[in-house]
Amino acid sequence: MKIPLFLLLFCAAARAGTFVPAPALNYDPTPAALLQDCRDAQKRAASALAGLSSLSQTSRTFDNTPWAFDGILAQLNEDTASGQFLKSVSVSSAVRAAGNDCETEIGKFSIDVFSREDLYKALKDYAAKGEPLRGDAARLLEKQLLDFRRSGLELPREEREQLTLTRKRLTELESRFSRNINESKDSALFTRAEMDGAPEDFVSRLEKADGKYKVTLDYPDYFPFMDNVRVGASRKVLEGKFNNRASRENLPLLGEILTLRKKAARILGYQTHAHYVLEQRMAKDPATVKAFIDRLKKRLRPLAEDELQTLLALKRVFEGKDADPVFRAWDWRFYDNQLKRVRYSVDEQKIREYFPADLVTEQMLEVYQKLLGVKFKRIENGALWHPDVRFYAVSDAASGASGEPFAYFYMDLFPREGKYKHAAAFDLIKGRSLPDGTYRKPVAAIVANFDKPAADRPSLLTHGEVETFFHEFGHIMHQTLTRARFSRFSGSEVARDFVEGPSQMLENWVWDPAVLSSLSGHYQDRSKKLPKEMLDKMIAARNADSGLFNLRQLNFGSIDQLYHTTPPSDTSAAYAKVMKEVFLIPMSEGTHPEAGFGHLMGYDAGYYGYMWSKVYAQDMFSRFEAEGVMNPAIGADYRRKILEVGSSHEEMESLKSFLGREPKEDAFLRSIGLKAD
């Protein structure tokens, strides 16, 4: 691709005299250099692993075997972190492709590592010495031995080799599936009349082609369009394209992926891929997940059915007596938005005028600083991958202005071609103790796709995007405030069905009136805060769609569980069946939403965790509700008992330590307008 001159100049400046928070990070490599660095890192790791393997049994210690093994893999991840990350954020398609190749190679290297008998023997030989280990040291050795067993090291050689080949193939396919979604560039063209209801500032920033307006499938285009355009036929077109992203490429990939995941699980002796995955989650098995989903579906369905009837009635008002009697997938966002306008006088387009992204960022950082006892300082001369990116150092507030940073994070908030399509937090460097007694400073990045600034106004966020911002930054805090000794347990390296809990808890802050007021300021006059009557209406409307919204989450979790317990021959037909049964709204004919369901890679058999962890999130928030949303003492307790420990303890033990009791579902049910049992 041709790179704009301003970016070439920016990259040249970025190489000269800039600060890099870790020596291995390089955001301006050529594709060839990126791949060469990736392969050199693998060679260094292979050499270090050979050295570990060659030690005699009598000379083995915790430091030179389990801890060293953890450190070698951590160093490999550090040495390739920026290369793999650039797959999601680089302006160059060639660099993104190289980053994707590096990620695939590292995945295969990891498979090879955990297929090695000599390394497994090294750990077993150390374990056989029977040295007394406690706490996180005992947990590290236990987890490492389990990792090898789950990689087939107790299997006959032939089956083990078959498993290794299967997993390498999976690594390739999963990487391609994700890349196809990221690289999807489909769009639709509409006349102004076909976009009736779309906000003028939205229309004015759209590109034109053939005398029509080009609407992409990126979130800053898709959501405002679906929320506001009154023409159902237009919404149908865009929803159809959105839920067909990468379908031609990804449908055959998904079928093969599900088959191979089941095959790998069976080789290891697990009934299904879900059984294999859930062994290491808080839920432990598919039966527990099914009971959890069924229990919530039962509670939510009556609420959702009432909401759906209300939305259908509103649809008849808008479209007349000849309106389609079926509530369609392209109807939901629009009529949900209209309901909030009609019943609660909530106008998202008016609200977003009070949330300019720069002000929200500044005030959000202030909230986190006060709550968690930290200080953020922007670094102006940091090495970056794009001019939009901002870079910050993290230090303890108690250390004052001269305090030494203990972590760093980046913010990359606006969309561009080829960039990761959603919002996420990436841990580039994991915090961990080093053999010389120092601590590796963690580095993380929040990546989002908020509305880009325009010539006549700054970037403006919907309240939902403010909530997303708080959520993802909660992950950044989990990743950067860690004090875990080992990389294996660092930051958000917790059980996948708990990883969303800490960040989901922090979504609650954007519903607190005082916090919400501090985050707001009209983009034309920052002194004008979100009016109280508007704020009150937003809070009143918070649970206007809680039944359907939460059933939608359970729908994704149900589909994910189905795919990984009983893989269907027709993934689209299975998706349609589950969606109608759980979400109550039918899947649009001719669409294939599973092809763009990126969480099937990485969250496989684990998407239920969003709802599972939300239950725990609301339970944790109940302490803040009772003792003060901005109570720094509770914030410090949360930082110490949840964020700093990572997975150094069992997640349930950390949760009970913070709560001072067994966890309950009551707070979650109350938060969505239901009575606790």
What lies within 8 Å, CB to CB, of 306 at 6+ separation is: 547
59 burial level (CB within 10 Å; 0-12, 13-18, 19+): exposed
Q: What is the CA radius of gyration of the chain?
A: 25
For residue 445, give the nearest of 418, 417, 419, 424 by alpha carbon.
424
Which amino acid does the sequence have at 194? E
| Cα–Cα distance measured from residue 519 to residue 469, given in angstroms and rounded to the nearest whole number | 12
């006059």: which residue's tokens? 525
d(CA 413, CA 392): 14
Question: For the residues 258-279, what does the mean pLDDT come to?
Answer: 97
Q: Is 590 found in the same domain as 615? A: no
Q: Determine the residue type at 303.
A: L
For the segment 318-349, what is each residue's pLDDT rounded down to a tens digit? 999 889 999 999 999 999 999 998 888 988 88
Residue 349: what pLDDT?
87
Domain-located, residue 10:
no
Residue whose pair of structure tokens reads 């030690």 in the numeric block: 55
Residues 441 and 383 in one domain: yes
Do 452 and 585 reside in the same domain of the chain? Answer: no
On whether residue 467 sits in a domain, the answer given is yes
Residue 640 lies in a domain: yes
* Mean pLDDT value of segment 285-297: 96
- In one-letter notation, the amino acid at residue 201 is D
Residue 490 sits in the same domain as residue 379: yes
Residues 339 and 434 grouped into a single domain: no
Which CATH number fits the domain that encloses residue 58?
1.20.1050.40
Residues 439 and 579 in one domain: no
Q: What is the mean predicted confidence (pLDDT) over 474-486? A: 98
Active site residues: 472
**pLDDT band at residue 602 using 50, 70 and 90 as cut-offs:** confident
Question: Which CATH number belongs to the domain containing residue 378 in this structure?
Answer: 1.10.1370.40
Among 375, 380, 437, 360, smallest CA distance to 407 is for 375
The answer, yes or no, to whether residue 617 has pLDDT greater than 80, is: yes
> What is d(CA 130, CA 48) in angstroms, rounded to the nearest whole number?
25
394 and 527 share one domain: yes
Q: Please give the Cα distance from 555 to 141 (Å, whole number).
A: 37
Read off the pLDDT of each residue in 164-187 and give the average, rounded to a whole number: 94
Q: How confident is the model at residue 6 (pLDDT cuts 50, 70, 90)?
A: very low
Instruction: Determine contact, residues 473/376, Cβ cutoff 8 Å.
Output: no
CATH of the domain at 273: 1.10.1370.10
- Is 14 within a domain? no
Q: Flag whether pLDDT at 3 surpasses 90.
A: no
The DSSP secondary structure of 54-89, one letter per residue, reads TS-GGG--TIIIIIHHHHHHHHHHHHHHHHHHHHHH
Residues 236 and 252 in one domain: no
Considering the domain architecture, whether residues 432 and 507 belong to the same structural domain is answered as yes
127 touches 145 (CB < 8 A): yes
Residue 440, token pair as written in the block: 């590796």
Residue among 500, 369, 487 at smallest CA distance from 434? 487
Mean pLDDT of 294-312: 95
Average pLDDT of the chain?
94
The Cα–Cα gap between 220 and 84 comes to: 25
Instruction: With a cut of 90, say whether residue 225 has pLDDT above it.
Output: yes
pLDDT for residue 8 is more than 50: no
- For the stretch 110-151, pLDDT in tens is 999 999 999 999 999 999 999 999 999 999 999 999 999 999
d(CA 360, CA 366): 10
Instruction: Check whether 640 has a pLDDT greater than 90.
Output: yes
Give the pLDDT band of residue 619 (cuts 50, 70, 90): very high
Question: Average pLDDT in the 163-179 region?
Answer: 95
Mean pLDDT for 493-507 is 94
| Domain C-terminal end among 562, 578, 607 | 607
pLDDT at 9 over 50: no
Domain interval for residue 578: 247-346+546-607
- Given a contact cutoff of 8 angstroms between Cβ atoms, the answer to whether 258 and 567 are in contact is yes
**pLDDT value at position 422?**
87
For the chain, how long is the longest CA-to-CA vector?
A: 84
Buried b (16+ CB within 10 A) or exposed e, 332-343: bbbbbbbbbbee
In whole angstroms, what is the distance from residue 235 CA to residue 390 CA?
Answer: 35
Six-digit token string for 217: 């499938």
Residue type at 286 in one-letter notation: P
Least confident among 302-306, 339-343, 641-645 = 339-343
In a domain, 171, yes or no: no
Q: What angle do CA 43, 48, 50 make, to 5 degrees?
A: 95
For residue 660, how many other CB atoms are within 10 A of its CB? Answer: 8
Residue 92 vs residue 17, higher pLDDT:
92
**Phi and psi dihedrals of 598, rounded to 5?**
-60, -25
**Predicted confidence (pLDDT) per residue in 30-83, tens digit:** 999 999 999 999 999 999 999 999 999 999 999 999 999 999 999 999 999 999
pLDDT digits (tens, 9 = 90+) for 524-561: 999 999 999 998 899 888 888 899 999 999 999 999 99
Dihedral over Cα of 417, 418, 421, 425: its sign: negative
Banded pLDDT at 676 (limits 50, 70, 90): confident
Report yes or no on 303 lying in a domain: yes
Residue in the structure block whose two tokens are 């009556």:
302
Mean per-residue pLDDT for 145-161? Answer: 95
Statement to judge: residues 293 and 389 lie in one domain:
no
**Is 167 contained in some domain?**
no
pLDDT confidence tier of residue 13, bands split at 50, 70 and 90:
very low
pLDDT, tens digit, 9 for 90 and up, residues 359-376 = 999 999 999 999 999 999
Cβ 481 vs Cβ 592: under 8 Å: no
Domain end position, chosen among 607, 632, 648: 607
157 falls within a domain: no
Q: Give the residue carrying structure tokens 């008002």.
A: 317
Count of domains for the chain: 4
Torsion 651-653-657-659 (CA) sign: positive
Looking at the structure, tell me whether residues 594 and 619 fall in a common domain.
no
Percent share of the chain, pLDDT over 90: 89
> Are 237 and 100 within one domain?
no
